[in-house]
């Protein structure tokens, strides 16, 4: 039966390996699958409401909004200061990089009615 003094280097080596493995898991770089993505959403505005009403993306993602409406609207995305005219039945495509984090109102610029929200989470 080995003595405690003989087992000490083995136990110390095992503790060092466990610590290094834990540090590797905690500090490893992000995998390629967690990088920026293109996120595309089909938005429909009808009777002063947008569907879906909430959009969530991650900072750095390319956001593409395909917007259609049952009546003319001037859509304004606060924070990004993007404004687009959306005609009745005329789809509009809006594309931008989500470089700002936070909650941003999407509103009808003329009536100032909030149609929905864009949420950009930090990466």
CATH, residue 105: 2.60.40.420
Read off the pTM. Answer: 0.71
Q: How confident is the model at residue 4 (pLDDT cuts 50, 70, 90)?
A: low
DSSP, collapsed to helix, strand or coil, labels residue 39 as strand
pLDDT for position 100: 97
- Structurally, the chain folds into a number of domains equal to 1
- Res 68 pLDDT > 90: yes
For 37, the domain range is: 33-121
18-44: pLDDT as tens digits: 777 777 766 765 555 578 999 999 999
Whether residue 90 lies inside any domain: the answer is: yes
Whether residue 77 lies inside any domain: the answer is: yes
All residues at 6 or more sequence positions from 59 whose CB lies less than 8 Å from its CB, including other chains: 98, 99, 100, 101, 120, 121, 122, 123
Whether residue 62 lies inside any domain: the answer is: yes
Whether residue 22 lies inside any domain: the answer is: no
CA separation for the pair 50, 102 (Å, rounded): 19
């Amino acid at each position: 039966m080995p003595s405690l003094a003989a087992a000490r280097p083995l136990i110390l080596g095992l503790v060092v390996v466990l610590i290094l493995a834990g540090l590797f898991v905690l500090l490893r770089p992000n995998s390629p699958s967690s990088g920026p993505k293109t996120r595309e959403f089909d938005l429909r505005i009808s009777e002063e409401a947008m569907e879906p009403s909430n959009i969530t993306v991650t900072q750095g993602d390319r956001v593409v909004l395909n917007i259609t409406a049952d009546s003319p609207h001037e859509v304004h995305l606060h924070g990004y200061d993007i404004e687009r005219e959306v005609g009745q039945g005329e789809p509009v495509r809006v594309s931008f990089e989500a470089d700002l984090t936070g909650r941003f109102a999407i509103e009808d610029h003329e009536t100032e009615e909030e149609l929905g929200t864009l949420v950009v989470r930090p990466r």
